[in-house]
Structure 1
């Protein structure tokens, strides 16, 4: 499979690792915002293992989970400043820096995960990752956060059930607009505040993939999950451009060579964990409901004209479902 895992600015015409040797051990630090049980954390541990092996122990990757390096937006800002070396973040904060990345957040754009992979690993994904070069970042890969579903303290089976529901969303204008159209009252909120806000009734619900719901123990404050699958949630693997260019070529090459295998592993873990964790959530008393998404789809897709995303790109993404 042809994984899209580097920008044109990151293409390196170098020999395979081992032709030279690093003068000292290189330490690479990667931060992310999810728990250690999330597939992205497991994928980063796999990347660290592969890079250490391929570099004969000369490169160590340290992984900092659960917002240890800051909230997601802070980590993205840190990439531009060079204070954060690498991060994997949801699309929410990214669109504030690269608005065209918001096309991936349009509701009901992808038919299934395989459709998303074809887009991310093909020319569309490569083109998008290349654009990070203009904002002092390096786009390395698009991983999987998962299909976003709605959770609340009551069943949500039709758009009418969302009327007046205070629903936490990411600070993402596409998500916010979609839920406004669906009749909810979207509340953009940093993730670190969500659990407490749900418990205190500041918000009524939220929307996230199953793995996020499970690894953050949201079953303690939410009783129902609606399998709306309204958005496929990408995880953007990014590096600070200034830091990336400061590393020896051997370091960059070792990371780039390991990324395809780590990407495949991360996506496989996402599918495995979603199935396992859905079963465990039911054991914990969470009601998980399948619904007819057609009414949600019809309303939410009306926001497409509210944004200035290139219609040709949207059509190319949709066409990829048929390949």
Structure 2
């Protein structure tokens, strides 16, 4: 595989992920209260306005995190920094918003990592299957030295990366049968993003990966053009896939983070004290947003069960079968992504598992 191949599929992946997050967030339900702001007032010179754009809607976990960020920054700056939130891709999708940061016409955004792989190839590591068996293992990687190094690497090309959040796990649905092993996937037509790595995953599992745009997916499922698809629970519910898919499996096969970005042009205008305030607020926002995301995830999965969808929850042994089957994918993409990074992450995950 070549860098040219990566560039081609990443641009398509980005568009797909942006659409999914924007649509998916509309399914969110009850939100927990915003935490109280702690910490002294930050004293610094100047007044600043931050336009903060995201692709998801107001009803999602990501937007709830932004509300907490806004509360922290405005209170701790004594109102000298004002934050204006723009959800639902009002100011452009993830790639457009990131470009606006580079141009200095937008101050902040929080895309998923998938659209950014073209700019930062190492982010493709998050498309690898079963990299993070549990969300706490993703936390251990992203909140540790590896995640910090990736933030530093992404603090280039007109951007400053200051924190992580959670987009979440992708799950499998289909109209044919329960799936609890790779054998059950044999011959199933599974819609994927037009993404070479994701297609490699499903082909290796024995399915027939069928790339198509998200806009075509519901009709394709309804008419039997494809048997199944894979998306986060929140997207499955909001898109009403449960109306045309009787079976789901909580595979958690791909975990994708959000990354908090600031325009370098704006960042350089901020006093050092306010730069640190934004870093602190981004960290607290990310931690809170993860909690909200996981709470909503459980609520929505239960809603799907209540609607009649049969959801298979895999045992550790069953997941191990999938992982073993997919080891060739890691070999196929090792040089493309970077073997050292993959090894570092997998070692950290193993250490986190041992501590549980």
Q: TM-score range by the shorter chain?
A: 0.7 to 0.9
- The counterpart of 2:265, out of the listed 234, 242, 263, is 242
Output the TM-score relative to the length of structure 2: 0.75
The gaps in structure 2 that reach 5 residues or longer are 1-39
Contact 2:41 2:78 in 1 (8 A): no
Cα distance change, pair 81–207 in 1 and its aligned pair in 2 (3 A): farther
Cα distance change, pair 20–134 in 1 and its aligned pair in 2 (3 A): closer
Output the TM-score relative to the length of structure 1: 0.82
Q: Deviations over 1:187-229 (max 9, x none)?
A: 264x666557656767654322223333555434544321111
Q: d(CA) in 2 for partners of 1:313 and 1:234?
A: 16
- The counterpart of 1:262, out of the listed 263, 277, 285, is 285
Instruction: Please give the root-mean-square deviation of Cα atoms over the aligned residues, in Å.
Output: 2.7
Cα distance change, pair 81–193 in 1 and its aligned pair in 2 (3 A): farther
- Partner of 1:266, secondary structure, is helix
- The counterpart of 2:172, out of the listed 144, 150, 156, is 150
Cα distance change, pair 65–225 in 1 and its aligned pair in 2 (3 A): farther
Contact 2:43 2:77 in 1 (8 A): no
2:329 matched to which residue of 1? 303
Contact 1:146 1:210 in 2 (8 A): no
Cα distance change, pair 251–294 in 1 and its aligned pair in 2 (3 A): same
Q: Which runs of 4+ in 1 moved over 6 A?
A: none
Q: How does 1:58-207 map to 2 (within 5 A)?
A: 58-155=80-177, 157=179, 158-160=181-183, 161=185, 163-169=187-193, 172-182=195-205, 183-187=207-211, 189=213, 204-207=227-230
The gaps in structure 1 that reach 5 residues or longer are 1-15
Asked if residue 281 in structure 1 is aligned to residue 304 in structure 2, the reply is yes
Could you tell me how far 1:115 is from its partner in structure 2?
Answer: 1.3
Contact 2:62 2:289 in 1 (8 A): yes
Size of the alignment, in residue pairs? 304
- The counterpart of 1:293, out of the listed 319, 327, 336, is 319
75-84 or 278-287: bigger deviation: 75-84
Cα distance change, pair 216–68 in 1 and its aligned pair in 2 (3 A): farther
Q: d(CA) in 1 for partners of 2:171 and 2:253?
A: 7
Q: d(CA) in 1 for partners of 2:99 and 2:281?
A: 26
- The counterpart of 1:210, out of the listed 233, 252, 258, is 233
Asked if residue 18 in structure 1 is aligned to residue 27 in structure 2, the reply is no
- The counterpart of 1:318, out of the listed 336, 341, 346, is 346
- Partner of 2:252, secondary structure, is strand
Contact 1:105 1:175 in 2 (8 A): yes
Return the structure number with greater strand share.
1
Cα distance change, pair 250–223 in 1 and its aligned pair in 2 (3 A): farther
Q: d(CA) in 1 for partners of 2:309 and 2:262?
A: 37
Q: d(CA) in 2 for partners of 1:172 and 1:141?
A: 26
